[in-house]
Amino acid sequence: MAFELPKLNYEYTALEPNIDAKTMEIHHSKHHNAYVTNLNLAVAGTDLEKQSIEEICAHISKHPAAVRNNGGGHYNHSLFWKVITPNGGGVPTGNIANAINTAFGSYEKFKEDFTKAATTRFGSGWAWLVVHDGNLVVTSTPNQDNPLMDIADVKGTPLLGLDVWEHAYYLHYQNRRPEYIASFFNLINWAEVNERFAKAK
Ligand code: MN3
């Protein structure tokens, strides 16, 4: 198979109480798994089988909707599992801390902007911190789109992404998306974000 469901670096229970074990299990083993299965079906027998998911996203306007939806779903979730971690959160460290201060004025202002992007994304989608033309920018995308895609309003290299589909929080938080977003800041893996930032520059 061209694409595979990545293993998590932690147990489904490890992000409690911020994200409950049942949500993690269903989100990873059912939702993400379905994006991988359907992406593989959509690319089977085409030259997309040999492309990386990043390359596929970069030219997404040329591909069928099944590739856009499931390819985006695979890329987005693969990033999401890595940018959250048990014992994560707190203020950023390393180069990303300075870059956030330069771009947003302070970590608190970044948090406010990111929270607003995640809260106001109507329906299903994602909030992002990206490198766009050398600058850090907060943006959001609908459905399983992402800033790597040539159709994105704000294009860039994703450093941090938050899934705000109801399947990401509804079991525990029901309609309380803002509480789920607040909990995300307890989980951010700043070491991972720094690694992505170093490669994006
Ligand atoms: Mn999801």
pLDDT tens, residue by residue, 113-142: 999 999 999 999 999 999 999 999 999 999
- Distance from the CA of 20 to the center of ligand 1, in angstroms? 14
Element (H, E) at 132: strand 125-132
Mean pLDDT over residues 57-68, rounded?
A: 98
- Distance from the CA of 175 to the center of ligand 1, in angstroms? 16
pLDDT tens, residue by residue, 5-35: 999 999 999 999 999 999 999 999 999 999 9
- Distance from the CA of 165 to the center of ligand 1, in angstroms? 6
Torsion of the alpha carbons at 106, 110, 112 and 113, rounded to the nearest 10 = 140
Under the phi-then-psi rule, with left for phi > 0, alpha for psi from -120 to 50, and beta for the rest, what region is 50? Answer: alpha
- Distance from the CA of 105 to the center of ligand 1, in angstroms? 30
State the Cα–Cα distance between residues 24 and 187, nearest whole angstrom. 13
pLDDT at 173: 97
- Distance from the CA of 182 to the center of ligand 1, in angstroms? 17
State the Cα–Cα distance between residues 136 and 144, nearest whole angstrom. 21
Amino acid (1-letter code) at residue 183? S
Q: Measured between alpha carbons, how far is residue 150 from residues 54, 101, 146 in Å? A: 11, 28, 9
φ, ψ for residue 189 (rounded to 5)?
-95, 90
Mean pLDDT over residues 150-179, rounded?
A: 97
pLDDT at 134: 93
pLDDT for residue 201 is more than 80? no
DSSP 14: G
Neighbours of 65 (CB within 10 A): 9
Expressed in percent and rounded to 5, the helix, strand and coil fractions of the chain are 55, 10, 35
Neighbours of 90 (CB within 10 A): 11
Mean pLDDT over residues 69-86, rounded?
A: 98
pLDDT for residue 1 is more than 70? no
Share of the chain above pLDDT 70, in %: 99
Neighbours of 12 (CB within 10 A): 18
The model's confidence at residue 165, banded by pLDDT at 50, 70 and 90, is very high
Instruction: Give me 56's structure tokens.
Output: 């596929």
Across the chain, mean pLDDT equals 97
The model's confidence at residue 189, banded by pLDDT at 50, 70 and 90, is very high
